[in-house]
């Protein structure tokens, strides 16, 4: 498997937050290519550590379009009553090569846009935690997630 430690280090430095990476084939096995929301088994992601530290109620991936995906991890935290559901959101970068600043990222990371980097990016999906938004704490589950949890498995 190819690697790009300079790019990984630069992304964490530039964003000032952890950048989680996972194999594309693993990502493809837990999400969808169509627009919408699907439940995700957190234990099949690099976010599995969150499940061991908190009471995770649901994990979902929501695709807004071909290149816009977010993952949400909903945790139950009774000490935050009445807003007992906390949602941490992660932005997903499925294709860094199509980022408008890709060339600048490569240069800033002191690396090269070569076959090794292209192989690494073809094999890797990145997740980065977003700052809490207005939906971070809420008294109930988001309607879409509630519906997905209640749907019978096929």
Per-residue pLDDT 10s for the chain (154 aa) are 789 999 999 999 999 999 999 999 999 988 877 788 999 999 889 998 877 777 889 999 999 887 789 999 999 999 999 999 999 999 999 999 988 889 999 999 999 999 999 999 999 999 999 999 998 999 999 888 988 888 665 5
Of 87, 92, 57, which Cα lies nearest the Cα of 72?
87
- Residue at token pair 């919408």: 36
Are 45 and 143 in contact by the 8 Å Cβ rule? The answer is no
What pLDDT does 35 receive? 81
C-alpha atoms less than 13 angstroms from C-alpha of 149 in its C-beta half-sphere: 12
pLDDT at residue 153 in the model: 55
Q: How many CA atoms lie within 13 A of 62 on its CB side?
A: 13
Q: What are phi and psi of 76, to 5 degrees?
A: -90, 125
Span between the terminal Cα atoms of the chain, in Å: 35
What are the beta bridge partners of residue 56?
Answer: 75
């Amino acid at each position: 498997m190819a690697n790009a430690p300079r790019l990984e280090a630069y992304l964490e430095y530039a964003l000032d937050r952890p950048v989680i990476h996972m194999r594309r084939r693993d990502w493809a096995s837990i999400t969808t290519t169509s627009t919408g929301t699907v439940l995700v088994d957190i234990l099949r992601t690099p976010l599995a550590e969150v499940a061991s530290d908190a009471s995770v109620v649901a994990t979902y991936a929501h695709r807004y379009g071909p290149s816009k995906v977010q993952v949400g991890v909903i945790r139950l935290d009774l000490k935050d009553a009445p807003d007992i559901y906390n949602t941490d959101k992660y932005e997903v970068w499925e294709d860094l090569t199509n980022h408008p600043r890709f060339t600048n990222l490569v240069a800033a990371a002191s690396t090269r846009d070569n076959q090794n980097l292209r192989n690494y990016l073809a094999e890797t999906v990145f997740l980065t935690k977003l700052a809490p938004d207005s939906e971070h704490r809420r008294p109930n589950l988001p309607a879409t997630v509630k519906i997905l949890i209640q749907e019978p498995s096929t």
